[in-house]
């Protein structure tokens, strides 16, 4: 059961590695010391929040402003945590460690699995692997620094969204309620994108959950 999950999760890990290298390189090329993106990845461990915080720091913003922005972007993880509360496990240690591994990708990967046991295993396999790959790739990118040049020119930012879309498509296709919420949330995010800071449209997309009503699939 583990090997198929590792095989499927490896696609997410590969995309994470590409983006992690980009983040590390951008941070160091912008003037931050090598240790800064590495420590941030270990402690914060949130790709979008890390990119936003570093972007603000490199633009001259105060550290408190950068931290506040990252915290705002990560508020969506509270909803994700509720979605996988039973999947993570009931022990205090499992919940503490599992909370650090809650990301868009691990939640999507876990909830796409059939059955509670497989979902729990998928969460931990994908979460631990993603954490390891992200941090190693950020270190590699930070050490490479300016040698990589302009990472945006390689289109690295498209890798993560593409893999995440592939993870959620089955749920959107098979469940009418999920599809309704996803389309509504995507519409809100699309309209808001030109008017709000980067990352905020993702939070606004959660308003689509208001449409999650009706009888669950398969209910009598």
Give CA separation, 109 vs 31, 33, 63, 115, 168, in Å: 35, 34, 33, 13, 8
The DSSP secondary-structure symbol of 183 reads H
25 with 151: CB under 8 angstroms?
yes
What is the distance in angstroms between the CA of the first residue and the CA of the last residue of the chain?
Answer: 31
Other beta carbons within 10 Å of 201: 19
Residue 177: the pLDDT is 80
Residue 116: the pLDDT is 86
Which is more confident, 40 or 170? Answer: 40
CA–CA dist 83, 186 (Å, integer): 19
**Percentage with pLDDT > 90 across the chain:** 11
Residue 136: the pLDDT is 95
Mean pLDDT along residues 180-207: 81
The per-residue pLDDT for range 3-51, each reduced to its tens digit, is: 888 888 888 898 888 888 888 888 888 788 889 889 989 988 887 778 8
Q: Which residue has the tokens 């950068």?
A: 66
């Amino acid at each position: 059961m583990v090997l198929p999950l590792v095989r499927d999760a490896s696609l997410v890990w590969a995309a994470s590695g590409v983006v992690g290298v980009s983040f590390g390189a951008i941070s160091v090329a912008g003037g931050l010391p090598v240790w800064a993106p590495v420590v941030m990845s270990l402690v914060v461990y949130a790709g979008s929040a890390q990119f936003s915080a570093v972007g603000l720091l490199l633009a001259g913003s105060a550290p408190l402003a950068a931290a506040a922005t990252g915290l705002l972007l990560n508020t969506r993880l509270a909803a994700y945590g509720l979605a996988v509360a039973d999947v993570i496990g009931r022990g205090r240690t499992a919940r503490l460690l599992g909370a650090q591994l809650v990301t868009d990708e691990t939640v999507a990967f876990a909830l796409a699995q059939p059955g509670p046991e497989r979902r729990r295993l998928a969460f931990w396999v994908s979460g631990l692997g993603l954490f390891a790959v992200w941090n190693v790739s950020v270190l590699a990118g930070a050490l490479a620094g300016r040698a990589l040049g302009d990472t945006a020119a390689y289109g690295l930012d498209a890798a993560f969204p593409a893999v995440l879309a592939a993870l959620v498509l089955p749920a959107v296709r098979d469940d009418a309620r999920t599809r309704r919420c996803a389309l509504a949330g995507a519409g809100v995010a699309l309209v808001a994108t030109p008017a709000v800071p980067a990352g905020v449209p993702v939070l606004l997309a959660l308003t689509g959950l208001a449409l999650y009503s009706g009888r669950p699939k398969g209910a009598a």
